[in-house]
């Protein structure tokens, strides 16, 4: 995954997290290997599930916790699922890239407004599976 200039990213080994220097209190970036089956089952769904269902289950967990709201999702070339919504502090974008039968890469980006979507586009387009 590549991030545009200005993002201060920390590599935690099995995850990456960061904030942007222009607004380090209201920007958030994280990427990690996810357990798709656990996400679906934690939200009350059943496995097996499609990538779109994993995405919706992720948002359902945020909605159950009353910290996020799902707006829409779209399938991307290669089978990934990109979604849009809101988090309690503003717009949020999420990407699920399947990597195995029950695993995937999850990338979450939050920002204070929709003008950050160009960063989201660039980051999501650069995500590659191991």
- H/E segment holding residue 61: helix 51-64
Q: Check pLDDT > 80 for residue 130.
A: no
- Per-residue pLDDT, 58: 98
Cα–Cα distance between 43 and 46 in angstroms, integer?
9
- For 65-92, the pLDDT digits (tens) are 999 999 999 999 889 999 999 999 899 9
Cα–Cα distance between 10 and 22 in angstroms, integer?
17
- Per-residue pLDDT, 112: 96
Q: Give the chain's length.
A: 130
- For 43-53, the pLDDT digits (tens) are 999 999 999 99
């Amino acid at each position: 995954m590549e991030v545009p200039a200005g993002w201060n990213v920390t590599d935690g080994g099995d995850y990456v997290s960061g904030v942007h220097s222009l607004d380090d209190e209201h920007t958030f970036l994280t990427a990690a290997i996810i357990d798709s089956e656990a996400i679906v089952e934690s939200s009350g769904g059943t496995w097996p599930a499609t990538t779109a269902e994993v995405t919706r289950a992720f948002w359902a967990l945020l909605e159950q916790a009353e910290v996020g709201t799902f707006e829409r999702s779209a399938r991307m070339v290669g089978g990934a699922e990109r979604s849009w919504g809101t988090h309690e502090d503003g717009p949020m974008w999420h990407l699920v890239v399947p990597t195995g039968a029950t695993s995937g890469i999850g990338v979450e980006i939050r920002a204070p407004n929709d003008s950050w979507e160009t960063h989201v586009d660039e980051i999501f387009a650069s995500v590659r599976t191991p």
